[in-house]
Amino acid sequence: MSAMEAKPRVSARHAQLGLSDRDVLEMYYYIALARALDERMWVLQRAGKAMFVISGPGHEGCQVAAMWPMDKAQDWFVPFYRSIAACLVKGMTPTDILLGLFARAADPSSGGRQMPGHYGHPRVKILSTSSPVGTQYPHAVGIAYAARVRRTGEVTMVAIGDGGTSQGDVHEAMNWAGLYRLPVIFVVENNAYAISVPLHKQVAGGSIAARAAGYGFPGVVADGSDVLECYRVARDAYERAKRGEGPMLLEFQVPRLGSHSSDDQQERYRTKDEIEADRARDPLRVFGAYLESVGLLTDTVRQEIAARVRREIDQATEAAERAPLPEPASAARYVFFEGR
């Protein structure tokens, strides 16, 4: 019997949350996969093979945890540009992600017609996001409202960064969702910076989660490095939505392990001590240490997961790079009305 097939350990923290040993090892795999994919994208950009990268090192733990309770086939996810790990758990593949990075015709997000990081996939119910920050919140509420009207039982999760919560769209969406008690989970991945602007200069009142009270639903804060705590609050939010009790706002306070994008250099506006403090909260390391402490992540298992991740990333890179570009004649498709 492999470690992935082991029985739940009743005394362990994850077992108390109803997660099996297999669950938490798969969660670790997705976090490692997203991190490796993220690092590969930066290498490709620095090698001149991709024009732009905007990624989320440090955000992976809360994303995997938040997506874990969702029904991957039935429910909807509305991402933002750092949602790599969440999209992988929802059903996108590393090849899907890299097809977008290389702007290839087979890119499921946009057919190679959007900037990298605009994730979407119709088959797995991931809504392609717009470039303006904050617009995904009203989109998610619209999906949730439709689910309520059609009585489909679908739940929608939508993610955004802390800077995006300053947009008016976010207020309108949460007000509407609270008013109609819609089945939507609002996720804010707070890494304390909106590009180079620190949180205290972009968020009034000191708390994003506290805003939920003004819209008539709960808001909670969780340490984004604590994967199991993120899972617990996400599971509570999902069960609340399924019971028809309305939305929740989850604020995950995550470490910022990289710059805002490949066009940014955070060392110019953050201190070395601050960056090092965030690195100590790396969810990959923190969750890995927990799994080691309960005897699940042995050297053998770690090596197996690392080899699997490396193989999948290498295969995805080769497949995506070899994929054909979109035809020039299709540049305006879906932009203008073409008649029936």
Q: What confidence tens digit (pLDDT) does each residue in 51-73 have?
A: 999 989 999 999 999 999 999 99
Closest CA to 253 of 277, 288, 289, 217: 277
Give dist(CA 60, CA 213) in Å, integer. 27
Residue 6 pLDDT class (50, 70, 90 cuts): low
Report the pLDDT value the prediction gives residue 330, as an integer from 0 to 100: 87
pLDDT at 244 over 50: yes
Higher-pLDDT residue of 84, 2: 84
Q: What confidence tens digit (pLDDT) does each residue in 245-280 have?
A: 999 999 999 999 999 999 999 999 999 999 999 999
What is the 8-class DSSP label of residue 19? -
The backbone region for 45, taken as left when phi is positive above 0, alpha when psi lies in -120 to 50, beta otherwise, is: alpha
Q: What confidence tens digit (pLDDT) does each residue in 215-230 have?
A: 999 999 999 999 999 9
Higher-pLDDT residue of 3, 69: 69
Report the pLDDT value the prediction gives residue 117, as an integer from 0 to 100: 92
Residue 1 pLDDT class (50, 70, 90 cuts): very low
pLDDT at 320 over 60: yes
Which residues have a Cβ under 8 Å from the Cβ of 314 and sit 6 or more positions away?
none
Complete DSSP assignment for 85-136? HHHHHHT--HHHHHHHHTT-TT-TTTSS-S-TT---BGGGTBPPPPSSTTTH
Unique residue bearing structure tokens 């900037």? 115
Give dist(CA 181, CA 315) in Å, integer. 44
pLDDT at 3 over 80: no
Maximal CA-CA distance, the chain:
62
Give dist(CA 161, CA 238) in Å, integer. 20
Residue 235 CB neighbours (<10 A): 18
Q: What confidence tens digit (pLDDT) does each residue in 118-133 have?
A: 999 999 999 988 889 9
Give dist(CA 288, CA 31) in Å, integer. 10
Complete DSSP assignment for 224-268? TT-HHHHHHHHHHHHHHHHTT---EEEEEE----S-SSTT--GGG
0.75 exceeded by the pTM? yes
Report the pLDDT value the prediction gives residue 332, as an integer from 0 to 100: 86
Q: What confidence tens digit (pLDDT) does each residue in 8-22 have?
A: 555 799 999 999 999
Higher-pLDDT residue of 260, 334: 260
Complete DSSP assignment for 191-219? -SEETTEEGGGT-TTS-SGGGGGGGTS-E
Unique residue bearing structure tokens 């090596």? 303
Unique residue bearing structure tokens 């899972």? 231
